[in-house]
Amino acid sequence: MKIYGEYLRIESRKDEDIIDITGLLFEVVNRSGVNDGIVTVYTMHTTTGIAVNEGEEGLTRDIVKFLSRLVPKDEDYMHHHFFREDGRMAVNAWAHLRSILVGMHTSLPISNGKIIIGMRQRVFFIDFDGPQARSIYIQVIGI
Amino acid sequence: MYTMGYSMSIVDFHIHPVNLEELHRADPNLTSALRDVYGLRIGLQPLKVFVNQLRFFGVSKAVILGLDLSRTYGVKLPSNEDIARIVSMHPDLFIGFMGLDPLKGDEALSKCEKFIDKHRFKGVKLNPALQGFRPDDERIYPVYELLEDLGAILIVHMGFSWNIHSNLTYSYPLLIEPIASKFRELKIVLAHMGWPWIWESICLALRYENVYLDTADTFTGTPKDHLKKVFVETLGVSFVKNFLRDKILFGSNHPRMESGKVLEAIRVLPIEDEIKDRILGLNALRILGEVSTP
């Protein structure tokens, strides 16, 4: 059995950005040499998320808008105080909470060297507190 | 929704470019210095992402500050050479302010001449509390005099700091009065509005034409919470409008607080658009000499 992994950088370009990373998963699976197994993508940040859904532009905007409505910025969050270990104020509880709702990873099956994914399904990286340079880890396990 | 009307320019007057990946790659000691001396633990960002951040939020000019802690801690956060390099890569966006240890006598004076004359830096950033000097120490006066002669701007940390190495005695705003009084042509920006000594800072801004205040950082909550407390609950909107409209500059204190978050906090303040335009850009452009007095 092989275990193969890569760290990749994603650069979000907006404060709330949804980025299609499906192609990156295919590329890593190709490089891994795994024919049958599973690929997992995991975000390294607590204010970002990983989601699988349709890539229609209106829908991607709806996703971001819905989460913003569900977890608004202007609430009274206990997270918003000074973090001595970081030397800065925490002011983005809403981004953490949206991240929890979306989840931080997803896994997809691999068969005959290809990721099994629905015709309309895409894998998205969502940044809730951009623009920033972010890191994801993609791991492929199989034979 | 507020839209920019008068100046169409947003100037962030207070940025420390200390978490740029390129600087940390070039100097591996910078990361530990940032944590141990400056008290900041933060993810690094490449310059192009930082530039995109500023542009995304609509910032058209960004003042980037050096900080010379070589005498007290053996580090520069970052060096003036680094500031010059960053400015040279994006001269349309960045405006350089040098770090300086004013107690270094002739060396300090020659550095001012070098970076302000040759590299076209617009001013100097001092942090007396962290650099360990009294700003009213007369040994420093030749530096203030030279800055005045060069037409440079002095931005000086005033008020609170979370940094445990800081001596807050040296960041009391009224210590600046003798300098503001003696060097009337030297434009002085009291950073952070001197919080919590806001009224002391305002005394100087009202009394001296050459004294200004910046909004950098947020000490009592989110930027929206903090600026609402300062502008609406403490000062009052009409006082800001009638007395301080030409005196306040937008500054973020990035990366302790992102530029876009402070900018948004100013945009939602219940004050007139024309006053916001002045705070967000016009006042800064005016003291930088890029527009004439409105």
Please list every residue in chain A whose beta carbon sits closer than 8 Å to the beta carbon of residue B45.
132-133
Which one of A14, A80, A88 has the shortest CB-CB distance to B42?
A: A88
- pLDDT at residue B292, rounded to an integer: 76
- pLDDT at residue B118, rounded to an integer: 86
For an interface test with B, which of A47, A91, A127, A129 has the most B Cβ atoms less than 10 Å from its Cβ? A91
pLDDT in tens, A72-129: 999 999 999 999 889 999 999 999 999 999 999 999 999 999 999 999 999 999 999 9
Alpha-carbon distance of B120 to B94, in angstroms, equals 12
pTM: 0.95
Predicted confidence pLDDT, tens digits, chain B (294 residues): 445 554 479 999 999 999 999 999 999 899 999 999 999 999 999 999 999 999 999 999 999 999 999 999 999 999 999 999 999 999 999 999 999 999 999 999 999 999 998 889 999 999 999 999 999 999 999 999 999 999 999 999 999 999 999 999 999 999 999 999 999 999 999 999 999 999 999 999 999 999 999 999 899 999 999 999 999 999 999 999 999 999 999 999 999 999 999 999 999 999 999 999 999 999 999 999 998 765
Alpha-carbon distance of B67 to B258, in angstroms, equals 19
Contact B293, B253 (CB under 8 A): no
- CA B88, B7, B233, B171 torsion-angle sign: positive
Chain B CA closest to residue A44: B43
- pLDDT at residue B287, rounded to an integer: 97
- pLDDT at residue B131, rounded to an integer: 97
Closest CA to B205 of B235, B226, B161: B235
Alpha-carbon distance of A89 to B215, in angstroms, equals 15
Please list every residue in chain A whose beta carbon sits closer than 8 Å to the beta carbon of residue B53.
130-132
Minimal CA separation from A13 to chain B, in Å: 7
Please list every residue in chain B whose beta carbon sits closer than 8 Å to the beta carbon of residue A85.
41
Alpha-carbon distance of B201 to A136, in angstroms, equals 46
pLDDT in tens, A118-143: 999 999 999 999 999 999 999 999 99
Alpha-carbon distance of B101 to B95, in angstroms, equals 20
Minimal CA separation from A25 to chain B, in Å: 23
Beta-carbon pairs below 8 A across chains A and B? 63
Chain A CA closest to residue B20: A133
Confidence of residue A43 (pLDDT cuts 50, 70, 90): very high
- pLDDT at residue B293, rounded to an integer: 61
Minimal CA separation from B45 to chain A, in Å: 6
Distances (CA, A) of A31 to A114, A138, B11, B123: 12, 11, 46, 52
Q: How far apart are the first and last CA of chain A?
A: 5
Given an 8 Å threshold on Cβ–Cβ distance, is B255 in contact with A74? no
